[in-house]
Copies of this chain bind each other. A is one copy, B any other.
């Protein structure tokens, strides 16, 4: 079948060996030179996605690119069989864990396109499911491109006749056996072409364009791939252009200095010691039971703790994690990123801690740092923190689609209560380490944080991953709320 996406092979003579060698030599030199610049700059990465019809020689192209490039800055990852660690996490996890760090080139042999296309070809998914998957892919690619990753999406094409000729020659010459994929797709050429064309159409974007490469002539095919990669390298060694500040951003900046959402929180609630004990014991027992039940049913939970300094996050987290069997629960404190983390999209370091099916992961601070401290302190540009709302919503939806309950908690205290606690900490030998210059600096920016918080609640309160604002002027009240919120959430879900 010929679609506009996949035109017939141009009627060109085969490229001669000598001609190829001449072109190859020049190309290789340039590839190496640009690759060195990419690494030296350490600012952007390249992700090459290798896909296309069977027998087009994708594996040969991958080898050729590896031959041309300096191996120290390239990593090829083949995605095919899944481990249970991968199966038990959202689908995107296996790709995130293999993304190339800044300054390097990642070659994905097979990619996030493989499974949606294959499932649709074999009618194991509906048209709607395919569309939804493609929309998710488009989101991920947008997010990576915005972060400076140059996406090189290669589709290797062979006409049905050309593919058949190759398969026949393979059978005749016996150079190697047909791969399982060649056997499975041989009889489904047209359907595969149709589904693939739809996938390409839905994900062709200026920041992540598709390149369809005719694979009839191996030498032309490899040169074409190399030249596209070279062009990408040339773009990648340029600094990333920042999006101009736009009207939305300006509108956001003039939001009210108080958050109506936070203003509505009743901070006067308290709990007496006796009631506190009783409710704590009840909630703890329920949590123990529910987390084991969730484990049996392979449902995971991600709990995000955010809150004002001295709002009692630490104590609340300990009450929560000690209520769950240590075998099921892991607490991830988020501090400054490591250099491996800094070399990736900011969400990468959270993806790596996404739990396998059946476990609870508690984040002590989280990806919301992007739209809170990084925004307020100017560590993220306006373009970066503005697009983070969508990126975060996308991330949490991915978790949720992967069967993970996401519960976000904001521990809220009044400025007066915070001041009281700061002073108490400063006066106590045991608590002194919990208060530093940074806390006072953050406090001075209270109203900037309120603006950021109001926007955060507005833009990231999605049904799959709700925010619970916990009144935390009274620690006992707050701790019980935290536990009871989780109990309610798990009970509703299980």
A62 in contact (CB, < 8 A) = yes
A78 in contact (CB, < 8 A) = yes
CB distance from A58 to the nearest CB of B (A): 8
A96 in contact (CB, < 8 A) = no
Flag A20-59 by CB within 8 Å of B: 1 or 0 each: 0000010011001100100000000000000000000001
CB distance from A293 to the nearest CB of B (A): 12
Contacts of A356 in B (CB 8 A): 83
Flag A313-342 by CB within 8 Å of B: 1 or 0 each: 010011001100111101101010011100
A63–B322 Cα distance when bound, in Å, is 5
Partner of A333 from B67, B72, B328 at Cβ < 8 Å: B72
Contacts of A78 in B (CB 8 A): 326-328
A484–B314 Cα distance when bound, in Å, is 59
Contacts of A398 in B (CB 8 A): none
Contacts of A88 in B (CB 8 A): 83
Across the interface, do A32 and B327 meet the contact criterion of CB distance under 8 Å? no
Count copies of this chain in the complex.
2
A247 in contact (CB, < 8 A) = no
A251 in contact (CB, < 8 A) = no
Across the interface, do B76 and A285 meet the contact criterion of CB distance under 8 Å? no
Q: Which B residue's beta carbon lies closest to that of A80?
A: B327
CB distance from A154 to the nearest CB of B (A): 14
CB distance from A41 to the nearest CB of B (A): 15
Q: Which B residue's beta carbon lies closest to that of A73?
A: B333
A399–B64 Cα distance when bound, in Å, is 31
Contacts of A327 in B (CB 8 A): 78, 80, 109-110
A271 in contact (CB, < 8 A) = no
CB distance from A286 to the nearest CB of B (A): 12
A328–B78 Cα distance when bound, in Å, is 8
Q: Which of A261-305 contact B (CB under 8 A)?
A: 285, 288
Across the interface, do B429 and A71 meet the contact criterion of CB distance under 8 Å? no
A285–B177 Cα distance when bound, in Å, is 11
Contacts of A176 in B (CB 8 A): 285, 288
CB distance from A233 to the nearest CB of B (A): 15
Partner of A63 from B28, B71, B75, B321 at Cβ < 8 Å: B321
A164 in contact (CB, < 8 A) = no
Across the interface, do A318 and B433 meet the contact criterion of CB distance under 8 Å? no
Across the interface, do B340 and A338 meet the contact criterion of CB distance under 8 Å? yes
A124 in contact (CB, < 8 A) = no
Contacts of A438 in B (CB 8 A): none
A384 in contact (CB, < 8 A) = no
A11 in contact (CB, < 8 A) = no
**Best-buried of A71, A318, A364 by chain B (most CB within 10 Å):** A71
Q: Which B residue's beta carbon lies closest to that of A339?
A: B339
A430 in contact (CB, < 8 A) = yes
Q: Which B residue's beta carbon lies closest to that of A356?
A: B83
A33–B318 Cα distance when bound, in Å, is 19
A84 in contact (CB, < 8 A) = yes
A359–B206 Cα distance when bound, in Å, is 37
Contacts of A288 in B (CB 8 A): 176
Q: Which B residue's beta carbon lies closest to that of A365?
A: B72
A259 in contact (CB, < 8 A) = no
A386 in contact (CB, < 8 A) = no
A295–B250 Cα distance when bound, in Å, is 57
Across the interface, do B429 and A29 meet the contact criterion of CB distance under 8 Å? yes
Across the interface, do B325 and A25 meet the contact criterion of CB distance under 8 Å? no
Return the 7 tightest CB-CB contacts between A and B, nearest first.
A63-B322, A78-B327, A84-B84, A72-B333, A85-B85, A339-B339, A83-B85
What are 17 A-B pairs at a CB distance below 8 A?
A25-B430, A59-B326, A63-B318, A63-B326, A66-B318, A66-B331, A67-B318, A71-B333, A71-B364, A72-B335, A72-B364, A75-B331, A78-B328, A80-B327, A176-B285, A338-B340, A339-B339
A: residues with CB less than 8 A from B are 25, 28-29, 32-33, 36, 59, 62-63, 66-67, 70-72, 75-78, 80, 83-85, 88, 109-110, 175-176, 285, 288, 314, 317-318, 321-322, 325-328, 330-331, 333, 335, 338-340, 356, 364, 429-430, 433
